[in-house]
Amino acid sequence: MCGIVGYIGARQAAPILLAGLEKLEYRGYDSAGICVVAPEESKLSYAKCLGKIINLRTRTRDGTALPGGNGIGHTRWATHGTPSETNSHPHLSGDGRIALVHNGIIENYQELAARLRDAGYVFRSETDSETIVHLLEDYYDGNPVAALRRAAAELRGSFALGVLFADFPGRLYALRKASPLIIGMGEGENFIASDVPALLTHTRKIIRMQEGSVAELASDGIKLWDADGCAITPNPETIDWDANSAQKDGHAHYTIKEIHEQPYALRRTISPRLRGDEIDFGFTKISEQELRDCNCIYLLGCGSAYHVGMVGKYYLEKLCRVFAIPVLASEFRYAHPVVTEKTLTIVVSQSGETADAREAMHEAQRLGSKVISIVNVKGSAIAVESDEVIYTHAGPEIGVATTKAYNVQLNALLLFALYMARVRGTAEEIYIKEEIHALQTLPEKMESFLFDVTTAQFYASVYCGGKDIYFLGRNVDYALALEGSLKLKEISYIHSEAYAAGELKHGTLALMEEGTPVVAVCTYTPLLDKMISNIVQVKARGAKVLAIVREGETGLDFVADYVWRIPASFGFTQSALTILPMQLFAYYVALQLDREIDQPRNLAKSVTVE
Ligand code: M6R
Please report the pLDDT score of residue 381 as a whole number: 87
pLDDT digits (tens, 9 = 90+) for 497-549: 999 999 999 998 999 999 999 999 999 999 999 999 999 999 999 999 999 99
Residue 400 Cα: closest atom of ligand 1: 14
Residues of the chain with pLDDT under 50: none
- At 470 the pLDDT is 97
Ligand 1: residue of 310, 402, 480, 493 to mutate (most ligand atoms within 8 A of CB) is 402
Distance CA 213, CA 194 (A): 15
Q: Which atom of ligand 1 is nearest to the CA of 354?
A: 4
Residues 6 or more apart in contact with residue 398 via CB below 8 angstroms: 26, 197, 246, 254, 258, 598, 605
pLDDT at site 573: 98
Q: Which residue, by CA, sits nearest to atom 14 of ligand 1?
A: 401
Distance 281 CA to ligand 1 centre (A): 24
Per residue in 75-86, pLDDT (tens digit) is 998 888 888 999
Q: What is the pLDDT of residue 243?
A: 63
Ligand 1 atom with the smallest distance to the CA of 401 is 16
Identify whether the C-beta of residue 363 lies closer than 8 Å to the C-beta of residue 338: no
Which of 350, 602, 606, 608 most suits a substitution to test ligand 1, by most atoms within 8 Å of the C-beta? 350
Q: Which residues are catalytic?
A: 2, 605
> Is the entire prediction scored with pTM above 0.75?
yes
Ligand 1 center from residue 598 Cα (angstroms): 13
Pick the residue whose CA is nearest to atom 16 on ligand 1.
401
- Bridge partners (DSSP) of residue 106 are 157
Q: Burial-class residue 561 by CB neighbours within 10 Å (0-12, 13-18, 19+).
A: middle
Instruction: Tell me, letter by letter, the H, E, C secondary structure of 167-222.
Output: CCCCCEEEEEECCCCEEEECCCEEEEECCHHHCCCCCCEEEECCCCCEEEEECCEE
Using CA positions, which residue lies closest to atom 6 of ligand 1?
302
User: 423, exposed or middle or buried, with CB in 10 Å at 0-12, 13-18, 19+?
Assistant: middle
pLDDT reported for residue 157? 86
Tell me the CA–centroid distance for residue 441 and ligand 1, in Å.
27
Q: Indicate which residue's Cα is closest to atom 11 of ligand 1.
A: 303
Closest CA to 135 of 98, 170, 171, 172: 98
The most distant pair of C-alpha atoms in the chain lies apart, rounded to whole Å, by 79
Please report the DSSP string for 499-549 in residue order: EEGGGGGGTGGGG--TT-EEEEE---GGGHHHHHHHHHHHHHTT-EEEEEE
Rounded Cα–Cα distance for residues 398 and 261 (Å): 12
Residues with CB under 6 A from ligand 1: 302-305, 349-351, 354, 357, 400-402, 490, 603, 606-607
For residue 314, is it left (φ>0), alpha (ψ between -120 and 50) or beta? Answer: alpha
Nearest CA to ligand 1 atom 13: 401
Dihedral Cα 564, 565, 570, 576, nearest 10 deg: -50
Cα of 348 vs centre of ligand 1, distance in Å, is 9
User: Residue 248's pLDDT is what?
Assistant: 82
CA of 305 to the centre of ligand 1 (A): 6
Ligand 1 atom nearest residue 607's Cα:
8
> Hey, how many other C-beta atoms are within 10 angstroms of the C-beta on 153?
10
Residue 65's CB is within 10 A of a number of other CB atoms, namely 12
| 130 in Cβ contact with 76 (< 8 Å) | no
- State in Å, rounded, how far the first CA of the chain is from the last one: 12
Tell me what pLDDT residue 456 has.
97
pLDDT per residue as tens digits for the range 106-143: 989 999 999 999 999 999 999 999 999 999 999 999 99
- The per-residue pLDDT for 543 is 96
Cα-to-centroid distance, 145 and ligand 1 (Å): 35
Give distance in angstroms: CA of 280 to centre of ligand 1. Answer: 27
pLDDT at residue 450 in the model: 96
Ligand 1 centre to CA of 168 (Å) is 39
Contact 213, 225 (CB under 8 A): yes
- Whose CA is closest to 20, among 281, 187, 8, 216? 8
Separation of CA 402 and ligand 1 centre (Å): 7
CA distance 351 to 379: 10
Cβ atoms 528, 557 nearer than 8 A? no
**Is beta strand 274-275 parallel, antiparallel or unpaired with respect to 278-279?**
antiparallel
| Cα 526 off chain centre by | 33
d(CA 439, CA 327): 26
Nearest CA to ligand 1 atom 12: 303
Q: What is the pLDDT of residue 581?
A: 98
